[in-house]
Amino acid sequence: MTAHQLTGYDYLEANLLPLVLSIKPKQNNSDMVKSFLGLERISSQSIVISLGNHLETFFNKVISDSERVNNVIELNNMVNVAGKLRQVDHCFDDIEAAVRVYLESKCNLNFDSEKGKASNTKLVEVQQALNADLAAYFVPVVAEISKSDLVKYNNKGIQVYGVNWLLEQLNAPFTSEEYFNFVLEVVSPILVEKGL
């Protein structure tokens, strides 16, 4: 079966599950933990970071498999911004709407002020380098963005979208409900077993 023939849980099982299974937790490298407590623990942060990276990979696959859009970064996810190469999380051309969309994937919107400014600046600079009509943060861990986060970012001129919005743009082979149920039923127990 091709990716276009898979739907719902079958698509998620074929494309998201292998990424989750490939997560290799790292030991917490804190000398304080080792010496003070005499313990070695799995770094739950390493699991969370790996999951975020794998969700980015997964959603790029979903974008590539969509018949409504063209994944601009399928072969190369780097762009030159003022002489520096920058990594692009998601960028696609919406064939029907004739617009280019650039998304920066973020599992956490609670940046400290300096990181927030740097991320917002990167969003604008990469948008210009890609000649994108729309640039936004994409949060792959929520269906809809909370009103407080929307207000916070919209007041800075930044768009923020959740899973529902992206799946609608892509006409994805699974629903938001299937995605979040799959995460709760399949992905979460695996990550707990890995030490999260």
Of 20-24, 147-151, 157-161, give the lowest mean pLDDT range.
Answer: 20-24
Q: Which two tokens stand for residue 155?
A: 């007041």
Residues 88 and 52 in one domain: no
Residues 41 and 78 in one domain: no
Residues 90 and 159 in one domain: yes
> How many structural domains does the chain have?
2
Where residue 128 falls among pLDDT bands split at 50, 70, 90? Answer: very high
Strands 90-94 and 99-105: antiparallel
Q: Give the chain's mean pLDDT.
A: 87
Residues 79 and 158 in one domain: yes
Q: pTM for this structure?
A: 0.86
Q: Which domain holds residue 146?
A: 68-171
Whole-angstrom distance, CA of residue 156 vs CA of residue 138: 16
Residues 43 and 87 in one domain: no
Q: What is the CATH number of the domain that holds 154?
A: 3.40.1350
- Where would I find the H helices in 33-112? 44-65
Residues 95 and 151 in one domain: yes
